[in-house]
Amino acid sequence: MKNRHKYSFIFSCILADLLAIIGASFIFLRYASLSDVAWNYFFLNNLTSAKLLCWLLPVLYFRLYSLDADFNLSAFYRNTWRTFLAQGILWQSYIYLLHGTKNYNLEIASNIYSSSFLLVYCLFSRIAITYVLTHLKRWIPKPFNVAIWGFNKTSIELATQIETSAYFSNFLGIINSESEIKYKSKKEFGLVLGNAIENASKVGIQEMYVVVQPKYITDLNRFFELADKYCMRLKFVPDFSMLSKGKFSTSIYHNFQVLKPRHEPLQKSFNRLIKRAFDIIFSFLVIILVLSWLFPILAFLIKKQSKGPVLFKQLRTGKKNQAFWCYKFRSMRVNTISDSKQAKKEDNRVTPIGKFIRKTSLDELPQFFNVLLGDMSVVGPRPHMLKHTEDYNDLIHNFMVRHFVKPGITGLAQISGYRGETKEVVDMKRRVNADIDYVLNWSLIKDIKICFLTVIITLKGDENAF
């Protein structure tokens, strides 16, 4: 029942959005003839289908209407503006690139009116959607009743989660307000839970989450069977709040429940494949378009200013704590303490060209070869010297989590201002926290965003780069 309303609601949204896109294309067509632009017939005849295609591609990419997952209003708002923006970019690219229309610009009436229409529609449709979603439960004659049984930290957190997103079901809250710690035996607990299931079915609860510590349950199947008898869906959520203050990530391996300390998107092989493909394409482009002409120039200047090789290689800690040779343009005079001492401001080991390439981060460019070799990624936690990894691993308890993924040329910590020398342990802690945040929330869009912000920060000049 809850799915019936969810699907009706989502299909109404899809239909309304499609009608708006068709409306916008009609407005565009209506005013297109009034401008000086030399439109071609193919463009005018296929305008609506092209506009719909420009809408559908971002809809599918951003999963605007997710039918399989729980409906989340925050995600819907976020994906709405992303989809509308991507639609606009695709539409303008389509006109510019495929039709190369003369005298076309963004300021023509058809563009302004159709865009205004879509933006106003975007605002009012989302207000209407929010209103309908928040009032839907009142209009449904027989709502789908959901409740929680069990009063503990986990059940309170679960109730908060359900309350945030229970648009299509009637959440009755936590139906018992007595903590299970007052029960003295499994038998007493079993009797109370059995009665609770019976009473819940009498008041019309169709789905009930039982949240208790596993030690209170003797035979879970007995409660499942009891709930089946009353035609109620019973779900058991183990309460581990007494075991750990932290949160777990859970998954199912065949039929086994697996608890993990954290969820890592890059553990999925498909995500790793996407990241690798991005790394290879990006590195090839940088090597062909930038390094092909910059390498000889920098090599000449480095060689001219000090004796030694053009490239500096150093053993650094990579993925799974394995060492690899990290390549850089040599920015210092050849010295014996480079493997243990970090570069600092006004370091007299740095050559004049070295100062420039360090400031502009050009010294990191050879690491694109490391990316192609598979030791590094374009985006990821920066690799540290082996000695530093060893030292900081003793000082920071979750330091090695950053080594669950490949190290990167740039990373979230670097664009957040945590690059350069780490004088205090707290500096490194901040960097590690940013790195772990990246590991836990990886997405391809995030990688692209980090690359883009790195370019901007480098062009602006980072004061931590020296």
Distance between the two ends of the chain, CA-based, in angstroms?
A: 62
The closest of 396, 438, 435 to 418, measured between CA atoms, is 435
Q: How far is the CB of 185 from other proteins (least distance, A)?
A: 5
Q: How far is the CB of 209 from other proteins (least distance, A)?
A: 15
Q: Which of 96, 135, 178, 249 is in the footprint of other proteins by CB under 8 A?
A: 178
Name which of residues 118 to 147 contact other proteins (CB under 8 A): 119-120, 122-123, 126-127, 130
In terms of CB distance, is 23 or 265 closer to other proteins? 23
Q: Which of 40, 49, 164, 443 is in the footprint of other proteins by CB under 8 A?
A: 164
92 binds other proteins (CB under 8 A): no
Alpha-carbon gap, residue 221 to 140, rounded angstroms: 33
CB 405 within 8 A of CB 377: yes
The closest of 90, 93, 88 to 111, measured between CA atoms, is 88
313 binds other proteins (CB under 8 A): no
Size of the site for other proteins (CB under 8 A): 38
Q: Which of 98, 106, 112, 334 is in the footprint of other proteins by CB under 8 A?
A: 112
Q: Which stretch in 44-52, 151-159, 256-264, 289-297 sits in contact with other proteins by CB under 8 A?
A: 151-159
CB 383 within 8 A of CB 316: yes
Q: How far is the CB of 313 from other proteins (least distance, A)?
A: 48
Q: Which of 47, 129, 174, 326 is in the footprint of other proteins by CB under 8 A?
A: 174
192 binds other proteins (CB under 8 A): no
157 binds other proteins (CB under 8 A): yes
Q: Which of 94, 183, 224, 295 is in the footprint of other proteins by CB under 8 A?
A: 183
**How many residues are listed for the chain in this entry?**
466
153 binds other proteins (CB under 8 A): yes
Spell out the residues 6+ positions from residue 190 whose beta carbon is closer than 8 angstroms to its own: 217, 218, 222
Q: Which of 11, 19, 163, 203 is in the footprint of other proteins by CB under 8 A?
A: 163
421 binds other proteins (CB under 8 A): no
* CA angle in degrees (0–180, nearest 5) for 448-454-457: 145
- What is the phi-psi region of residue 174: left when phi exceeds 0, alpha when psi lies from -120 to 50, beta otherwise? beta
In terms of CB distance, is 114 or 454 closer to other proteins? 114
Q: How far is the CB of 58 from other proteins (least distance, A)?
A: 17
The closest of 88, 92, 86 to 64, measured between CA atoms, is 86
185 binds other proteins (CB under 8 A): yes
Q: Which residue has the tokens 């009609």?
A: 26
Give Cα separations from 113 to 145, 154, 259 (angstroms).
46, 51, 54
In terms of CB distance, is 74 or 348 closer to other proteins? 74
Q: Which stretch in 155-163, 282-290, 323-331, 422-430 sits in contact with other proteins by CB under 8 A?
A: 155-163
Name which of residues 63 to 82 contact other proteins (CB under 8 A): 73-74, 77, 81
Q: Which amino acid is at 88?
A: G
CB 54 within 8 A of CB 25: no
Q: Which stretch in 7-15, 55-63, 158-166, 409-417 sits in contact with other proteins by CB under 8 A?
A: 158-166
Neighbours of 280 (CB within 10 A): 14
Q: How far is the CB of 195 from other proteins (least distance, A)?
A: 20
Alpha-carbon gap, residue 422 to 63, rounded angstroms: 41
33 binds other proteins (CB under 8 A): no
Residue 374, both tokens: 């598979």
91 binds other proteins (CB under 8 A): no
In terms of CB distance, is 122 or 372 closer to other proteins? 122
The closest of 154, 162, 160, 178 to 245, measured between CA atoms, is 154
Sign of CA dihedral 87, 89, 94, 99: positive
Q: How far is the CB of 268 from other proteins (least distance, A)?
A: 28
Alpha-carbon gap, residue 106 to 466, rounded angstroms: 43
* CA angle in degrees (0–180, nearest 5) for 306-311-317: 130
177 binds other proteins (CB under 8 A): yes
Spell out the residues 6+ positions from residue 70 whose beta carbon is closer than 8 angstroms to its own: 165
- Name the site residues for other proteins (rule: CB under 8 A): 73-74, 77, 81, 107, 109, 112-113, 115-116, 119-120, 122-123, 126-127, 130, 151-153, 156-157, 159-160, 163-164, 174, 177-179, 181-186, 215, 218
